[in-house]
Amino acid sequence: MRKVEVTAYNEKWPILFQEEAERLKNVFGVELLEIHHIGSTSIPGLSAKPIIDMMPVVKSIEKIDAVNEKMKELGYLPKGEFGIPGRRYFPKAKENRTHHVHIFQEGSSHIHRHLVFRDYLRSHPTERGRYGLLKVNLAKKFPTDMVSYIKGKENLIKELEQKALIWHKERQNLN
């Protein structure tokens, strides 16, 4: 059973992302196009579970299955699509997780969704505060129930994603 732990933003999270990104570049080689820091640890000032979410973008998602053994050597568990078609998911460590790697092929709509959500929260402190407070309260309410913690965030995440997509479209129209 995984404990639900939400902590204050840690200035070391971007550094931990960069260090792991360098390791992953060696694993994915020429298939890798870019690696993004996503999720709550990528948003300065936001409380988060202390797990670095990373999103490599690759040329061919099918070719990623060939690196499962290399990922295991780095401590990752290959989980396949794990509920999201077109993704390859790798949590690092089983109990005390440190990183989650969500790999998508270039052109996937999931890439845009993750980046717009991240950038919206970086640019909107009030919304970031709402989301952070909800996460802290849910972690207190469900300290050993990850499913309820995640479910408790769903409505606000959907609301914020919609706002983020509108915000992004408006920004594009200004340029």
Task: Give me the pLDDT at residue 1, please.
Answer: 65
Q: Residue 107: which residues within 8 A CB-CB, separation 6 or more?
A: none
Type of residue numbered 105: Q
Q: Which CATH number fits the domain 13-170, given the four candidates 3.90.1150.10, 3.65.10.10, 3.30.460.10, 2.40.50.100?
A: 3.30.460.10
pLDDT digits (tens, 9 = 90+) for 56-95: 999 999 999 999 999 999 999 999 999 999 999 999 987 7
Task: Give me the pLDDT at residue 41, please.
Answer: 98
Domain boundaries, the chain: 13-170
Contact 6, 139 (CB under 8 A): yes
Contact 120, 164 (CB under 8 A): yes
* pTM for this predicted structure: 0.94
Parallel, antiparallel, or unpaired: how do β-strands 87-91 and 99-105 relate? Answer: antiparallel
Q: Helices 125-141 and 109-123, interaxial angle, to 10°?
A: 100
Interior CA angle at 86 toward 135 and 37, to 5°? 45
Residues in the chain with pLDDT values less than 70? 1
Beta bridge partners of residue 91, listed in sequence order: 100
